[in-house]
Amino acid sequence: MNETLRKVKVWDGWLRLFHWLIVVLVIAQYVTAELSLMEWHFRFGYLVLALLVFRLGWGLMGSETARFARFLKSPLDAIAHLRHLRQREPDIEVGHNAAGGWMVLLLLALLLGQVGSGLFANEEPGESYAAHGPFALRVADSLSAWLTEWHELGFNLLVIAIALHVTAVVAYAVLKRQDLVRPMITGFKRLPASVPAPRLGHPLVALALLALGLALVWWLSMQAA
């Protein structure tokens, strides 16, 4: 391809902020759990939930590259894309590729499972102590125990998914010579002039979705108090 390349903004600042905040919060969740700093563990969990509410809304009415309808292709498309992983070629994807879109969906689902199960998790069902989730004592002990098991298993699955995601990013850099990290930092890619720039979402919509997420977790925290 000998087309003239131009600098195009493909990732809006809201999506990039979500991405990197989730990275920080997942690490913080792990550290606080290991150190038994459960109050902070819950606070970080609430923040993750607020961000997930924002991301789900942004996936419906946000920037073109953030919308699920734009980047979710059929599983066959994802498999076909991965078959060319060894082929070195320029990165002309405006947003997520066919395989990356499914990884995004998997990570979001696992994160939702984690925060949802964490609200009801309890290492010792029936016992009232600081380490139980904010709603653990409001459900049956058997349900709390089941959700606790999922919370532990879900974190392991999340770690595996994150490892696959990082491995894929490295593989693209080594095999295809495509840098997927820089655009997620700067927001920009160099794309052929024939490739149209994506439409970016309105900041007021992003603020409204973020406010909705924060309002939801505030309401949940008040119900748990």
pTM of the model: 0.91
Confidence of residue 124 (pLDDT cuts 50, 70, 90): low
> Residue 173 is part of a domain; what is its CATH number?
1.20.950
Q: Report, as an integer, the average pLDDT of 97-115.
A: 96
> Is residue 122 predicted with pLDDT exceeding 90?
no
- Distance, in Å, from the CA atom of 198 to the CA atom of 71, rounded to the nearest integer, reads 12
pLDDT tens by residue, 132-189: 788 888 888 889 889 999 999 999 999 999 999 999 999 999 999 999 999 999 999 9
- Number of structural domains the chain divides into: 1
The whole domain housing 61 covers: 5-224
pLDDT of 91 reads 82
What pLDDT digit, counting tens, does each position of 36-48 carry? Answer: 898 899 999 999 9
| pLDDT in the model for residue 126 | 45
pLDDT score, position 43: 93
